[in-house]
Amino acid sequence: MTGTIVIYFSISGMLVGTIGMILSKDLIKKILSLGIVETSINLMYTGISARSGIIPPIVSGDFSNAFYADPIPQAVIITGIVISFALLCLSLVFAIIIYNRYHTMNVETIEMIFEREER
Amino acid sequence: MIALVFLPVLGGIICLVLKDRKSVSSIVAIVTAFASGSVLPFVIFEDASIILGNWGVLGIGLAIDELTTPFLLSTFIVMLAVILNSINKSYDGFFYALILILYGTLNSIFLSRDLFNIFVTVELASIISFILISYEKKPRQAWASLKYLLLSSLGLNFYLLGIGIVYMETGSFAMESLENASTMASVLIFGGLAVKSGLFFFSMWLPDAHSNAPIEVSPILSGLIVKLDVYLSIRFITYSSFSWMRDAYIFIGILSAIIGVIFAVNSKNAKRVLAYHTISQVGFMLVNCDKSSAWHGFSHAIFKTLLFLAVGNISARLGTKDYSKWSGKISTVEYTFLLIGSLAIVGFPMTSGCVTKEVIIHGACCPSLRILLLIASVGTAMSFSKFIFLKPVKTTSWPAANVVAAYVILSGVIIAHGIIGFEIYMFESVLPVMAGIAAYLILRRFLKPLPTYLERIDSALSSYLILFLITIRLAILFSS
Amino acid sequence: MKIAGIIAVTMIFVIVMLSFDSSGNIPRPIEQIVDRVNVPNAVTSVYLETRLYDTIFEIIVFSITALGVASLFASLPVNRDEDQHVFGTVTVYSGGLAALSITLFLYVVINGHITPGGGFVGGVVLATGVITYGLTSSFKKASVHYDKLKIEILENISLMIIFAFSTLIILFPETHSQLLSAASFGSTFSGGLIPILNILIGIKVYAGAWKMSSEFINRRGTL
């Protein structure tokens, strides 16, 4: 039950993050919206692992009756967290490189400058 | 089999540790590339599969079969050519480390049979390509890779959602569990990977990223990173939950093949022409999603690498990417290799492009589709007439020896593949080539660059999501 | 175009929410994992045994990103502004916090296979403590240790050893599981190579996180 609720909430979180990525004009806000999407999907995996029980999967002796959480989604999503951290760092670095040259974070202005340079 | 992954990664880690010593790392890179290439003959001729650590359904499986072979071969040849071309330039150990780790990662994607492992390795390949695109630290490159980063990580989150649903339904991340998955999960997996595929409307980040990347990086992006989605589509389509994809790809593929060509014909920037042709060729590959597209992926990787390296070296020497200013400035040697690459991509007989493209056109499901594919190849010939009609200068100056070695390896593979696979009916491919050249001579004064409205980040994002929704509708339609 | 995109994404997620059911196949692999690996923390067993192949790539992602951030930042100007406004109480506490985080790091990485924790968590704990100290007391003082303890060399060595040990575990799974089942369940030394891998991953993650954040702090004020 807990798992299902968490899964539905995290999918709505993904929706919110994606809309934020489309609507915001500021580059930093776009990156943060991507962060919301990634956090939501990480939360969803916790939800998946909570379907079989919510006791942490650290076994003490006998495990016949206890409803342990499923360890596999929890373990794989550690990798997902590391990857989203790496992506966040890289995107901020790119944003800083762009800002240092053009002194703006507005996406439309940046793209206008680039299209003018192309000609 | 595991050596195919671990040897390049080990070489990459050695380069990473020794990143301050420039001369050592290029030697390490060449040695590692040859070592991993020498493993290939022992593994590609027979099907095999292992599960790491004997963990059964819990573990990660690796397997090799006939669909994997062309991709493994093209990865080796492209990486070797790129490393040869990059020697004696100002690249440090970090560049070679990235290239080698990317090599191991790509091999791992082609071998892996585990959905989550594919996510991790695809993300690693993307992260490496983000760093490589902006390796020269120009703001344009940073913008191209930031756009690529935002779109591709959003797409891979959809992929993660999809495999989460697969796990909920079947209780396993193994690829066999896709057999029992629902259509919703499969369409999410498709949509997540499509953003990296290079199909028109799905991945509009592509022209910017491919045309602004450094010389050695564009071939890797166009020849290998784009092939990830092609490979995974060909792999997934064999499972029953993906059966809707064959019909959907006929529409999406032909759309991409034709629109990509229209943009390419009108472009003035040589690297952008090649980037738009990547979009068009991916469309060709995915029209009939089977073994023939895997081999077209192989030949595309080879001739696109040759073209990108030749164009990149020429434009670095002359300082302009506008091909109309090259006439009368390029040497005969450069022109010859540019010509071989162009003939291969337009599908002239006796080249690899002809062999694989004819198989795809003859394997198309219905006559109207065949006519549309012929139109797209006329357009390809039209846009490459630009390179064919360049005038070389008669000089005896040769490029550096390592660059020539890279060119010779690539064109040798193109011609050998073209001669081995040649069959007599393929002479008909001369017709679209001639038609294309004639059309270019008539229409060339009307060509001017089309607007790049769709490549802005918001439009790219929106068009990706709209096409994704349309695909979901198509999938529900076809699977019922 | 934007409006159409928003409508499209809303419809996609509505279709997704309506179409899946979460009560499908619920696997219970924990018994099998604990039987063979013989350590209490099943997440660590999955992370460092059944899916070790993923973990290798994860470590590589982390190293590549740390070096990539450093190499991309190389051309940007460094902020040489040295005066740092500090607040007395915070300075005192942050020193203590850094010491505490070192202790917690050691506990978390050594006992990662028995209690909640592991290499990645430990590295992040240590990096947070040291960065907090640098931000609140003296960034210059905090960054001295990176050169003094030769963290960069330590990081490279731990990357090599992690790769070597992981290759060994993947190539010879039987030997390692014999090593694991010989020890008594739940003691600190029962983990075979697992605690060693955890310590090395902790060092690696700490070095990468510190490197990235110090690059960002060195270029403060540019954004």
Q: What tokens were used for B117?
A: 């492992």
Highest-confidence segment of A18-32, A65-79, C110-124 = A18-32
Long-range contacts of B39-45 (CB under 8 A, 24+ apart): B39/B3, B39/B4, B39/B7, B40/B4, B40/B72, B40/B73, B40/B76, B43/B1, B43/B4, B44/B68, B44/B69, B44/B72, B44/B73
Cα distances from B360 to residues B426, C92, C100, in angstroms, run 12, 72, 65
Q: Is A99 inside any structural domain?
A: yes
> Which DSSP category does B49 fall into?
E
Q: Is A14 on the interface with C (CB under 8 A)?
A: yes
CA gap B78, C79 in Å, rounded: 41
What is residue C191's predicted lDDT score, i.e. its pLDDT?
A: 74
Mutate which of C7, C12, C22 to test chain A, going by most A C-beta atoms within 10 A?
C22
What is residue B19's predicted lDDT score, i.e. its pLDDT?
A: 77
Q: Is A47 inside any structural domain?
A: yes
Q: Is A63 inside any structural domain?
A: no
Mutate which of C7, C25, C35, C211 to test chain B, going by most B C-beta atoms within 10 A?
C25
**Strand, helix or coil at B51?**
strand
Q: In this model, does residue B402 exceed pLDDT 90? A: no
Contact B146 A95 (CB under 8 A): yes
Q: Is A69 on the interface with B (CB under 8 A)?
A: no
Smallest CA–CA separation between B125 and chain C, in Å?
9
Long-range contacts of C142-146 (CB under 8 A, 24+ apart): C143/C214, C146/C210, C146/C211, C146/C214
Q: Is A90 inside any structural domain?
A: yes
What ipTM does the predicted assembly reach? Answer: 0.94
Smallest CA–CA separation between C163 and chain A, in Å?
17
Residue of C nearest to A19 (CA): C6
Contact C71 B131 (CB under 8 A): yes
CA gap C114, A60 in Å, rounded: 9
Smallest CA–CA separation between A11 and chain C, in Å?
7
What is residue A61's predicted lDDT score, i.e. its pLDDT?
A: 65
Average of per-residue pLDDT values in chain B: 87
User: In chain B, which residues have their Cβ closer than 8 Å to the Cβ of C12?
Assistant: 465, 468-469, 472
pLDDT over 90, % of chain A: 41
Q: What is the mean pLDDT of each run of 10 residues along chain C (223 residues)?
A: 89 87 75 80 85 90 91 83 76 86 90 84 90 84 82 88 90 82 75 85 91 87 69
Query: Stretch A28-57: mean pLDDT, rounded?
Result: 89
Phi, psi of C18 (to 5 degrees): -75, -20
Band (pLDDT 50/70/90 cuts) for residue A32 is very high
Q: In this model, does residue A71 exceed pLDDT 90? A: no
Phi, psi of B389 (to 5 degrees): -90, 10
Q: Is A113 on the interface with B (CB under 8 A)?
A: no
Contact A71 C33 (CB under 8 A): yes
pLDDT in tens, B431-440: 888 888 888 8
Q: In this model, does residue A35 exceed pLDDT 90? A: yes
Query: Stretch B374-400: mean pLDDT, rounded?
Result: 82
pLDDT in tens, B27-75: 888 888 888 888 888 888 888 888 887 777 788 888 888 888 889 999 9
CA gap C6, C43 in Å, rounded: 38
Q: Is A61 inside any structural domain?
A: no
Give the residue with greater pLDDT, B57 vs B159: B159
pLDDT in tens, B207-238: 888 888 888 899 999 989 998 889 999 999 88
Mutate which of C21, C58, C114, C120 to test chain A, going by most A C-beta atoms within 10 A?
C58
Chain B contact partners (≥3 CB pairs within 8 A):
A, C
Smallest CA–CA separation between A118 and chain C, in Å?
24
CATH of the domain at A82: 1.10.287.3510
Smallest CA–CA separation between C156 and chain B, in Å?
6
What is residue A62's predicted lDDT score, i.e. its pLDDT?
A: 66
Contacts of C25 by beta carbon, 8 Å cutoff, 6+ apart: B168, B169, B170, B171
For the four alpha carbons of B361, B362, B366 and B371, in that order, the dihedral sign comes to: positive
Q: In this model, does residue B298 exceed pLDDT 80? A: yes
What is residue B248's predicted lDDT score, i.e. its pLDDT?
A: 86
Q: In this model, does residue B369 exceed pLDDT 80? A: yes
Q: What tokens were used for B247?
A: 């019909």
Band (pLDDT 50/70/90 cuts) for residue B104 is very high
Please give the tally of structural domains in chain A: 1
Long-range contacts of A97-105 (CB under 8 A, 24+ apart): A97/B134, A97/B137, A97/B139, A97/B142, A97/C72, A97/C76, A98/A27, A98/B139, A98/B142, A98/B143, A98/B146, A99/C222, A99/C223, A100/B139, A100/C76, A100/C77, A100/C222, A101/B139, A102/B139, A105/A26, A105/A27, A105/A28
User: In chain C, which residues have their Cβ closer than 8 Å to the Cβ of B127?
Assistant: 61, 64-65, 68
Q: Is A93 inside any structural domain?
A: yes
Give the residue with greater pLDDT, A94 vs C112: A94
What is residue C172's predicted lDDT score, i.e. its pLDDT?
A: 86
Q: In this model, does residue B179 exceed pLDDT 80? A: yes
Q: Is A25 inside any structural domain?
A: yes
> Which DSSP category does B428 fall into?
G
Q: Is B9 on the interface with C (CB under 8 A)?
A: yes
Q: Is C90 on the interface with A (CB under 8 A)?
A: no
C188: buried, middle or exposed (CB in 10 Å: 19+, 13-18, 0-12)? exposed
